[in-house]
């Protein structure tokens, strides 16, 4: 089954109160599960009444065909259980009310017994077959809708990504080219400042676009970790490299045990999660205070923590800081407030979790907990 969080067009069509079983989930259905059973019983009762009126003219044998027609129609609209109930109930009604001796379940003639048995089997088979057929059709339609909405989402993302990033590329490239070609003129200082502004502006814009695209990818549930063997030290170093600008002026203390084995993780995803935590630490830590980056492996779990000496987490907002667009009390740090939320999303997409705690002596510590496989550090020496 394709994943479904990305296909909301569907949900509105479900009948309220329908139990979420495979049988009950039908698009565009007007009835709930209980109502379907009631409809089956009412339907049989209605047909029985009609047959009661018709019986003098057509004889009790033909009544079974009218019942069968009812079961067949039921199969097109109701779930399998309701159809089976309609089949069973109609067989009983026919026997009780129409087959002589009347008002008993006893059947006097052998041919009546034979017709009754045949009716019972045909009704149940037909009912169950039509219901199955419909379930299959429904599944195929659902798969198609899911594919379609996935295709639309991807097209939209690609488009937005392309349409926003192309002008950003142009601005970035133009700004940098301007900086590179600055003439030796009187205005040089002013020109340089303007070009630098263009570069910084486009960097910031690019960051926002990336965050929005990441958030969208997370919410549509399309992120599938691509695990590969990673050197944790290298992963942390490249995260520091990414955020070099936002943690400028603060010492980053990297502590990775020397015997930490290679781990099987999605390098890009976890590197981005660590980078978001670093950016957050950079935004809230006063200059010159260190940011500590630690790694440890215990009982099948990799722990990566980012600790700062900032103001810490306001009391009671431990969970709120991971919410989208939450920006803390000091709005001066800027940004959309998506960083921590994306970090948490990436970590959870990887089967892990992200926690935050108060540090002794002030500050906050964010820890990424990831279930990982480790390598036995195999070597494969080629012959000299």
Q: Which stretch binds another protein (CB under 8 A): 16-24, 86-94, 177-185, 295-303?
A: 177-185
- HSE-up (13 A, CA, CB side) for residue 31: 14
Query: Least distance in Å: CB of 213 to another protein?
Result: 9
Tell me the backbone φ, ψ of residue 270, rounded to 5 degrees.
Answer: -75, -35
Helices (H), 243-369: 267-284, 339-349
Closer to another protein by Cβ: residue 15 or 242? 242
Q: Which stretch binds another protein (CB under 8 A): 1-9, 30-38, 78-86, 163-171?
A: 163-171
Q: Which stretch binds another protein (CB under 8 A): 6-14, 234-242, 321-329, 352-360?
A: 234-242
Closer to another protein by Cβ: residue 125 or 169? 169
Q: Which stretch binds another protein (CB under 8 A): 232-240, 298-306, 343-351, 363-371?
A: 232-240
d(CA 37, CA 349): 41
- Compute and round to an integer the Cα radius of gyration of the chain: 34
184 binds another protein (CB under 8 A): no
Give Cβ neighbours of residue 276 (< 8 Å, ≥ 6 apart). Answer: 339, 340, 342, 343, 346
248 binds another protein (CB under 8 A): no
Rule CB under 8 A: choose which of 202, 220, 305, 341 binds another protein: 202
d(CA 34, CA 45): 17
Q: How far is CA 144 from CA 1, 6, 137, 158, in A?
A: 11, 13, 11, 21
Ranges of beta strands (E only) in 182-249 are 228-230
Rule CB under 8 A: choose which of 3, 148, 192, 228 binds another protein: 228
Query: Least distance in Å: CB of 283 to another protein?
Result: 22
Closer to another protein by Cβ: residue 1 or 181? 181
Question: Sign of torsion, CA 239 355 327 266?
Answer: positive
Bridge partners of 366, per DSSP, are 306, 356
Q: How far is CA 310 from CA 117, 133, 293, 330, 364, in A?
A: 81, 63, 15, 12, 7
Contact 371, 301 (CB under 8 A): yes
383 binds another protein (CB under 8 A): yes
Closer to another protein by Cβ: residue 267 or 327? 267
Query: Least distance in Å: CB of 384 to another protein?
Result: 4
Contact 372, 302 (CB under 8 A): yes
Q: Greatest CA separation found in the chain?
A: 117
174 binds another protein (CB under 8 A): yes
Query: Least distance in Å: CB of 378 to another protein?
Result: 7
Rule CB under 8 A: choose which of 45, 170, 189, 190 binds another protein: 170
319 binds another protein (CB under 8 A): no
158 binds another protein (CB under 8 A): yes
Q: Which stretch binds another protein (CB under 8 A): 39-47, 54-62, 127-135, 231-239?
A: 231-239
Q: Which stretch binds another protein (CB under 8 A): 25-33, 67-75, 221-229, 349-357?
A: 221-229
Do strands 291-298 and 301-307 pair parallel, antiparallel, or not at all (unpaired)? antiparallel
173 binds another protein (CB under 8 A): yes
Helices (H) and strands (E) in the chain, counts: 8, 7
Q: Which stretch binds another protein (CB under 8 A): 5-13, 31-39, 172-180, 344-352?
A: 172-180
Query: Least distance in Å: CB of 351 to another protein?
Result: 19
Binding site for another protein (CB under 8 A): 158, 161-162, 165-174, 176-177, 180-181, 202, 206, 210, 226, 228-231, 234, 237-238, 240-241, 254, 262, 267-268, 271, 375, 377-384
């Amino acid at each position: 089954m394709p994943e479904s969080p990305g296909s909301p067009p569907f949900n509105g069509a479900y009948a309220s109160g329908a139990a979420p079983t495979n049988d009950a989930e039908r698009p565009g259905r007007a009835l709930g599960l209980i109502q379907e059973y009631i409809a089956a019983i009412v339907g049989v009762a209605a047909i029985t009444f009609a047959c009661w009126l018709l019986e003098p003219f057509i004889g009790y044998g033909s009544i079974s065909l009218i019942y069968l027609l009812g079961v067949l129609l039921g199969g097109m609209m109701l779930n399998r259980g309701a159809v089976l109930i309609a089949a069973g109930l109609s067989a009983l009604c026919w026997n009780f009310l129409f087959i002589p001796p009347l008002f008993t379940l006893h059947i006097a003639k052998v041919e009546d017994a034979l017709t009754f048995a045949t009716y019972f089997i045909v009704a149940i088979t037909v009912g169950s077959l039509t219901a199955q057929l419909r379930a299959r059709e429904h599944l195929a339609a659902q798969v198609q809708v899911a594919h379609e909405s996935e295709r639309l989402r991807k097209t939209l993302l690609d488009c937005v990504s392309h349409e926003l990033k192309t002008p950003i590329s142009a601005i970035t490239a133009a700004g940098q080219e301007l900086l590179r070609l600055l003439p030796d003129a009187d205005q040089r200082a002013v020109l340089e400042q303007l070009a630098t502004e263009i570069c910084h502006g486009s960097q910031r814009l690019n960051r926002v676009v990336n965050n929005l695209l990441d958030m969208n990818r997370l919410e549509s549930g399309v992120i599938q970790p691509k695990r590969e063997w990673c050197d944790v030290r290298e992963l942390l170093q490249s995260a520091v490299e990414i955020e070099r600008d936002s943690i400028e002026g603060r010492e980053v203390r990297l502590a990775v045990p020397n015997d930490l084995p290679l781990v099987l993780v999605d390098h890009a995803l976890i590197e981005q999660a660590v980078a978001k935590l670093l950016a957050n630490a950079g935004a809230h830590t006063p200059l010159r205070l260190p940011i500590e980056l630690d790694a440890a492996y215990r009982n099948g779990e990799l722990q990566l923590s980012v600790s700062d000496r900032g103001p810490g987490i306001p009391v009671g907002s431990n969970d709120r800081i991971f919410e989208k667009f939450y920006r803390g009390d000091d709005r001066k740090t800027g940004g959309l407030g998506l960083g921590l939320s994306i970090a948490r999303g990436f970590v959870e997409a990887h089967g892990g979790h992200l926690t935050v705690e108060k540090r002794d002596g002030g500050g906050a510590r964010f820890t990424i907990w990831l279930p990982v496989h480790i390598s036995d550090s195999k070597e494969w020496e080629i012959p000299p």
